[in-house]
Amino acid sequence: MTSRLLYSEGAVFLVPLRDGGHARGVVARADAEGVVLFGYFFGPLLASNVTVPLDDLKPEVAALRVVFGPIGLRNGEWRILGQLPAWDRSKWPMPDFAMRPPGRKAHLVRYSDTDPTQVEAQYPIDDDGGLPSDSALGYGAVEIMLTKLLGGDQADTGNVGNKSSGL
């Protein structure tokens, strides 16, 4: 029996940060089973999860673009806010990534635009141009990375409490 997913492309959700506050995320791609997702993640650090704007989310200003796992969404730790108004997947592209093996030349990795598990091309490049790293993160690693990127440990997040659960 297949269970109905609580999220789909265009879903907006809140990611609790490790030192308090929240970031926002958008599911931009999902494999057929909803097990491997690609998303855009955004600052600024939000002190409250009561009123969360959605109209300022644009892919070009994302703080993080990464392939990630859905456990935070499935277990309810990442609260789903709803769908982006007028979702258009063509405006939220699957970017190229860079694989950076230690001591070797970087490789460009291009995934299918419809499935974040399918590599369409991979080849050496001289300059990775700041491409996002080719990696897949678990939900805890996404929380840690966003906490570091958005300065959650130094921001004034008000009285939002600390995340007590581990990875």
As a whole number of angstroms, the distance between CA 44 and CA 22 comes to 9
Least confident of 24-28, 89-93, 94-98, 156-160: 156-160
Higher-confidence residue of 160 and 87: namely 87
Say if residue 153's pLDDT is above 60: no
The amino acid sitting at 56 is: D
Helix, strand, or coil (residue 11):
strand
Q: What is the mean pLDDT of the chain?
A: 86
As a whole number of angstroms, the distance between CA 77 and CA 25 comes to 13
As a whole number of angstroms, the distance between CA 54 and CA 35 comes to 24
Mean of the pLDDT values across residues 60-71? 95
As a whole number of angstroms, the distance between CA 71 and CA 121 comes to 28
Neighbours of 161 (CB within 10 A): 10
As a whole number of angstroms, the distance between CA 101 and CA 166 comes to 29
Say if residue 79's pLDDT is above 70: yes
* Band of residue 152 on the pLDDT scale cut at 50, 70, 90: low
The C-alpha angle 59, 92, 31, rounded to 5 degrees, equals: 125
CB 40 within 8 A of CB 26: yes
pLDDT tens digits, 4-38: 667 899 999 999 999 889 999 999 999 999 999 99
Which DSSP string do the residues of 143-158 spell out, in sequence order? HHHHHHHTTTTTS---
27-36 in b/e burial notation, b at 16+ Cβ within 10 A?
Answer: bbbbbeebeb
pLDDT tens digits, 124-143: 999 888 899 999 999 999 99
**Residue 156: per-residue pLDDT:** 36
In the chain, where are the structural domains located? 11-149
* Band of residue 154 on the pLDDT scale cut at 50, 70, 90: very low
**Residue 103: per-residue pLDDT:** 87
Say if residue 115's pLDDT is above 90: yes
